[in-house]
């Protein structure tokens, strides 16, 4: 089985004899796309649309990246459908990647379960991503775009944006995060002209009625700006879908759906008492690139950091990440770091962690002078060590969604 192999040919062969009657909301971007998918799915479900969702990577179990009506697909159904797709791959000599098998399994399940709309997160890039086999989505969404996966998508923001914008289709509306850089916005506008995609819906919007509806939700909690943007993108995308399906849906239904949406591992306040005995909650966030690390660093400085207690970080990262850049956004000189390495990722054998020694050496070179401790591959030990040295001060767990998966799995298994 192949690893990362851009291109649509294998996906086309896997699904050649599978009818896909559902319509799609297709979401690409560097940061926020999973959150947007969660909110769109929850809003459409609240509007009584039978909805499926496919995001990646999975959080705890390989099948939890596929939901039907806001519920994770059950393991037996997943494995039964996955086996059909795997047999098709094997008998046809297709050589599909693990992600292509997973995506084809999700698409087949959506057909079997007779969903009306599937909310699909791009795996990597956009133009050559397996999910771009979708020919005529109801709407596309482009979230915040930054420099990540440069070895595959290019070294410039314009190259990366071009890949992401590759999901845009002729005559299909596109909802766009207008807080992107001018270089990104110019690429998206050029792609819209070349493909005939549109109209473009810019978020934040100048629609005051729409802003008022969302403000009622934002006033309930202290949402960070990027969270507000992601919810606004989802709200606009859901409205575009519903406008194509008939009678007007009350905005209040969509707002209620957003309230019920759950997307773990993103600025999540978590109780670790069952693992560490610590009484105070910790902050769990999947920030794993410069853009998301900058946002997390600002949030920690605003809400958690105090003069009396340094921040204690539990950090693991994937190979290939810009480690100095990430740490510079997160850590102050007096902070503590417990470096660790996440466990092997089910279905993603190409993913490996950065050596924990390298994390600590980089932190020293950046001038971090607090406690720098190495838990190696012992994530539980890392959490317990961090809880001990923090002494009630702030603890943040970040650097990789795979580390977040390990933490949530430990809690589930202990309970």
pTM above 0.95, yes or no: no
- At 2 the pLDDT is 47
- At 317 the pLDDT is 96
As a three-state string, the secondary structure of the chain is CECCCCCCHHHHHHCCCCCCCCEEEEEECCECHHHHHHHHHHHHHHCCCCEEEECCCCCCCHHHHEEECCEECCHHHHHHHHHHHHHHHHHHCCCCEHHHHHHHHHHHHHHHCCCCEEEEECCCCCCCCHHHHCCCCCEEEECECCCCCHHHHCCCHHHHHHHHHHHCCECCCEEEECCCCHHHHHHHHHHHHHHCECCEEEECCCCHHHHHHHHHHHCCCCCCHHHHHHHHHHHHHHHHHHHCCCCCCCHHHHHHHHHHCCCCCCCEEECCHHHHCCCCCEEECCCCCHHHHHHHHHHHHHHCCCCCCCCEEEECCECCCCHHHHHHHHCCCCCEEEEECCCCCCCCCCCCECCHHHHHHHHHHCCCCCCEEEEECCHHHHHHHHHHHHCCCCEEEECCHHHHHHHHHHHHHHC
For residue 1, pLDDT beyond 50: no
Query: pLDDT confidence of 5, banded at 50, 70, 90?
Result: low
- At 150 the pLDDT is 57
The model's pLDDT over 205-238, given as tens digits with 9 standing for 90+, comes to: 766 666 778 888 888 877 888 899 999 999 999 9
The model's pLDDT over 331-369, given as tens digits with 9 standing for 90+, comes to: 999 999 999 999 999 888 889 999 999 999 999 999 999
In percent, how much of the chain has pLDDT > 70?
96
Mean predicted confidence (pLDDT) in 118-126: 93
For residue 151, pLDDT beyond 70: no
- At 247 the pLDDT is 75
């Amino acid at each position: 089985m192949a690893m990362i192999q851009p291109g649509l040919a294998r996906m086309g062969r896997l699904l050649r004899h599978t009818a896909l009657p559902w319509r799609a909301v297709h979401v690409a971007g560097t940061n926020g796309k999973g959150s947007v998918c969660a909110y769109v799915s929850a809003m459409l479900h609240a509007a009584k649309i039978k909805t499926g969702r496919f995001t990646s990577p999975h959080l705890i179990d390989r099948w939890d990246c596929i939901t039907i009506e806001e519920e994770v697909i059950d393991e037996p159904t997943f494995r039964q459908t996955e086996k059909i797709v795997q047999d098709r791959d094997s008998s046809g000599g297709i050589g599909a990647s693990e992600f292509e098998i997973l995506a084809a399994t999700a698409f087949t399940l959506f057909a079997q379960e007779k969903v009306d709309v599937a909310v699909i997160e791009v795996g990597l890039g956009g133009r050559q991503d397996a999910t771009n086999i979708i020919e005529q989505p109801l709407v596309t969404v482009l979230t915040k775009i930054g420099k990540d996966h440069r070895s595959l998508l290019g070294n410039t923001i314009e190259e990366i944006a071009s890949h992401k914008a590759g999901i845009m289709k002729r005559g299909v509306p596109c909802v766009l995060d207008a807080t992107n850089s001018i270089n990104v916005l110019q690429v998206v506008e050029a792609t819209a002209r070349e493909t005939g995609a549109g109209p473009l819906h810019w978020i934040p919007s100048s629609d005051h009625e729409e802003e008022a509806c969302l403000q009622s939700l934002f006033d309930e909690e202290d949402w960070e700006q990027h969270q507000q943007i992601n919810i606004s993108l989802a709200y606009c995308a859901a409205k575009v879908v519903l406008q194509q399906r008939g009678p007007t849906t009350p905005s209040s239904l969509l707002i209620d759906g957003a309230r019920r949406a759950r997307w773990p591992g993103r600025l999540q306040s978590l109780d670790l008492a069952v693992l560490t005995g610590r009484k105070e909650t910790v902050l769990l966030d999947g920030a794993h690139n410069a853009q998301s690390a900058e946002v997390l660093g600002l949030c920690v400085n605003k809400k958690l950091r105090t003069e009396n207690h340094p921040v204690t970080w539990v950090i693991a990262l994937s190979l290939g990440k810009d480690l100095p850049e990430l740490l510079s956004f997160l850590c102050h000189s007096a902070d503590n770091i417990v470096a660790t390495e996440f466990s092997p990722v089910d279905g993603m054998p190409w993913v490996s962690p950065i050596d924990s020694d390298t994390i600590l050496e980089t932190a020293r070179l950046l001038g971090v002078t607090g406690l720098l401790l190495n838990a190696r591959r012992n994530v539980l030990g890392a959490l317990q060590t961090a809880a001990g040295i923090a002494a009630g001060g702030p603890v943040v767990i970040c650097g990789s969604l795979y580390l977040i998966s390990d933490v949530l799995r430990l809690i589930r298994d202990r309970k």
